[in-house]
């Protein structure tokens, strides 16, 4: 059994993916080109935004967004304490300060009440200027955008949606990567829409920001690549990755249905035994992960050991809250209190899930959990 069986997906899509890769090889165009432009148009249409600007990774996409807004030293960006390190890392790379916000114990996403508290504390303290709320669509579930947008509007803050895990999710039919003033995603192979290497994208309705991101991703180009009007980056999507993504995008909706069906099968078997993932009414998750909560660290660690003995893969996403990462220890960040994130790090366990997982595999995982708990 595999945690996320990308080889299975390849075997299903092989004819089209092989053809696409060979076409790029024969074309002589390997970076950007019309395929990348076509893909950007398709992705923007899918997400429901005016612009999609692809780039080299999900981390770069966050960096490009922060550059477009000129976020820098002295600025505060509110980041959930329970996420992948890249969310906060991009803020630090920009020279700004991540202010960690606790998460909701059921959805795992940024807690809007603690967000209010952390914004107020930052204003009271006076050292930093609140600028951006970075919401993360963790494990595929869109953050609570109705509440976050109200806070952003009242406080005059920008929303940066880190949709690295969220592409394909939605709230009342509105799709992920359309909720931020700028939204980003990652095409890392194991993300909901993954390529065969690194890749990422920014999404926005704002023409000016789209132009800035397009410039920053290509050495701060002006009217041409050799007219450099700002210092930027080298962050482009390879043509071969765009070709692979075009094939995968065609299969994406069917895969979303399949992975949500797999999640429902898990929940039906597990809901009376452990805490299963919560998807609020009107929300749809892209099911980047299926993450259960155990009663204690001892029980969680014990279950993972038991899985290992049975040959069942599982992952702890994430073992350490952001503010306790070594990179942030003694770094002079404002004191952080995020009890829910701390608790989740000690009790969560992510189970094997992907669009091609079989009912037999799901049964095997669930039987092991039943036997252990
Ligand atoms: C994967 C991920 C990123 C970074 O994406 P890369 O393409 O690996 O750079 C950022 N944020 C979150 C929440 C992620 O899961």
- 238 pLDDT exceeds 90? yes
pLDDT band at 204 (very low <50, low <70, confident <90, very high): very high
Residues 6+ apart with CB under 8 A from 254: 355
User: Ligand 1: which atom is nearest the Cα of residue 60?
Assistant: 9
Q: Using one digit for the tens of pLDDT, what is the confidence trace for 33-75?
A: 899 999 999 999 999 999 999 999 999 999 999 999 999 999 9
Least trusted range by pLDDT, from 194-198, 266-270, 275-279, 334-338? 334-338
DSSP secondary structure letters along 255-298: HHHHHHHHHHHHHHHHTTTSBPP---TTEE---S-EEEE-SSHH
Q: How many CB atoms lie within 10 A of CB 247?
A: 18
- Structure confidence at residue 131 (pLDDT): 98
Q: Do the beta carbons of residue 179 and residue 48 sit within 8 Å? A: no
User: Ligand 1: which atom is nearest the Cα of residue 62?
Assistant: 10
- Nearest alpha-carbon partner for 136 in 164, 162, 105, 102: 162
Among 55, 87, 177, which is best to mutate for testing ligand 1, by the most ligand atoms less than 8 A from CB? 87
Higher pLDDT, 32 or 367: 367
Among 79, 162, 189, 194, which is best to mutate for testing ligand 1, by the most ligand atoms less than 8 A from CB? 162
User: Ligand 1: which atom is nearest the Cα of residue 90?
Assistant: 10
- 328 pLDDT exceeds 80? yes
**Residue 365 C-alpha to ligand 1 middle, in angstroms?**
27
Among 57, 137, 164, 291, which is best to mutate for testing ligand 1, by the most ligand atoms less than 8 A from CB? 164
Instruction: Assign 3-state DSSP to the chain and report helix, strand, coil percentages, each to 5.
Output: 45, 15, 40
**Residue 84 C-alpha to ligand 1 middle, in angstroms?**
7
- Structure confidence at residue 261 (pLDDT): 98
Report the percentage of the chain scoring pLDDT > 90: 97
User: Ligand 1: which atom is nearest the Cα of residue 137?
Assistant: 13
Q: Do the beta carbons of residue 20 and residue 165 sit within 8 Å? A: no
- Please list, residue by residue across 269-295, b when 16 or more beta carbons sit within 10 angstroms of its beta carbon and e when fewer do: bbeeebbbbebeeebbbbbbbbbbbbe
Please list every protein residue whose CB sits less than 6 Å from any atom of ligand 1. Answer: 57-59, 83-84, 86-87, 136, 162, 164-165, 186, 188, 198, 200
**Sign of the C-alpha dihedral computed for residues 13, 15, 21 and 24 taken in this order:** negative
For 142, phi and psi rounded to 5 degrees? Answer: -55, 145
Q: Do the beta carbons of residue 248 and residue 241 sit within 8 Å? A: no
Q: How many CB atoms lie within 10 A of CB 304?
A: 17
- Which pTM does this prediction carry? 0.98
Mean pLDDT of 75-80: 98
**Residue 136 C-alpha to ligand 1 middle, in angstroms?**
10
- Structure confidence at residue 255 (pLDDT): 98
User: Ligand 1: which atom is nearest the Cα of residue 57?
Assistant: 7
pLDDT band at 331 (very low <50, low <70, confident <90, very high): confident
Both structure tokens of 54: 């692809």
- Structure confidence at residue 335 (pLDDT): 79
């Amino acid at each position: 059994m595999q945690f996320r069986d990308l080889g299975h997906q390849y075997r299903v899509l092989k004819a089209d993916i092989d053809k696409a890769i060979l076409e790029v090889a024969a074309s002589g165009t390997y970076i950007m080109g019309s395929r990348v432009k076509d893909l950007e148009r398709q992705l923007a249409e899918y997400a429901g935004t005016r612009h999609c600007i692809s780039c080299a990774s999900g981390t770069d996409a966050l960096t490009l967004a922060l550059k477009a807004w000129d976020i820098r030293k002295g600025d505060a960006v509110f980041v959930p304490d329970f996420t992948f390190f890249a969310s906060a890392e991009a803020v630090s790379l920009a020279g700004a300060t991540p202010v960690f916000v606790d998460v909701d114990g059921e959805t795992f996403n940024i807690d809007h009440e603690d967000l209010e508290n952390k914004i107020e504390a930052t204003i009271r303290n006076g050292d930093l200027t609140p600028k951006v709320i970075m919401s993360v669509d963790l494990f595929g579930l869109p953050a609570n955008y109705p509440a976050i947008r109200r806070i952003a509007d009242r406080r005059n803050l920008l929303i940066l949606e880190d949709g690295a895990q969220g592409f394909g999710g939605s709230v009342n039919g509105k799709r992920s990567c359309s909720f931020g003033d700028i939204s980003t995603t990652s095409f890392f192979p194991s993300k909901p829409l993954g390529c065969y290497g690194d890749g990422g994208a920014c999404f926005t309705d704002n023409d000016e920001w789209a132009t800035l991101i397009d410039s920053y991703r290509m050495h701060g180009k002006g009217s041409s690549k050799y007219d450099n009007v700002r210092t930027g980056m080298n962050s482009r999507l390879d043509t071969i990755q765009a070709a692979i993504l075009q094939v995968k995008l065609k299969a994406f909706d069917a895969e979303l249905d399949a992975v949500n069906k797999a999640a429902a099968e898990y929940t039906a078997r597990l809901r009376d035994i452990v805490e299963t993932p919560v998807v609020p009414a009107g929300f749809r998750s892209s099911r980047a992960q299926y993450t259960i909560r155990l009663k204690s660290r001892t029980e969680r660690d014990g279950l993972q050991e038991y899985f290992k003995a049975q040959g069942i893969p599982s992952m702890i996403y994430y073992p350490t809250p952001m503010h306790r990462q070594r990179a942030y220890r003694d770094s002079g960040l404002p004191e952080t209190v995020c009890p829910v994130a701390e608790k989740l790090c000690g009790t969560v366990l992510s189970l094997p899930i992907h669009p091609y997982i079989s009912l037999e595999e799901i049964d095997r995982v669930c039987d092991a959990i039943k036997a252990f708990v």
